[in-house]
Amino acid sequence: MRTIAVVTGTRAEYGYLKPLMQAIQQEKELKLLPIITGMHLLPEFGNTYKIVKKDFPSAILSISRPASLILLFFLKKHILIFL
């Protein structure tokens, strides 16, 4: 089984990523690892991480870009998708 991490940082890009994430989730040979970061976590932008967590409960919250980079180091054997 391959793990595919999808990193989302804004509500706008999440609109594009959600169908892709759902398709990955439906594939039996793939495991989706959603990573939420950036503007999703900011109250002034509506804490939109809650929308992503509702759609994908297994999503990981990443507080800062450096934290995302550390996570990516550990995921180096997996496929990562960035927009």
Contact 4, 24 (CB under 8 A): yes
53-66 as b/e, with b when 16 or more CB fall inside 10 Å? beebeebbebeeee
Average pLDDT per 10 consecutive residues for the chain, totaling 83 residues? 86 93 94 88 88 92 59 54 49
Q: What is the pTM of this model?
A: 0.74
Contact 81, 5 (CB under 8 A): yes
What is the residue extent of each domain of the chain?
2-81
State the pLDDT at residue 28: 93
State the pLDDT at residue 55: 95
* Burial group, residue 37, by CB count within 10 angstroms (0-12, 13-18, 19+): buried
Q: In this structure, what token pair is assigned to residue 30?
A: 């793939």
Element (H, E) at 64: none
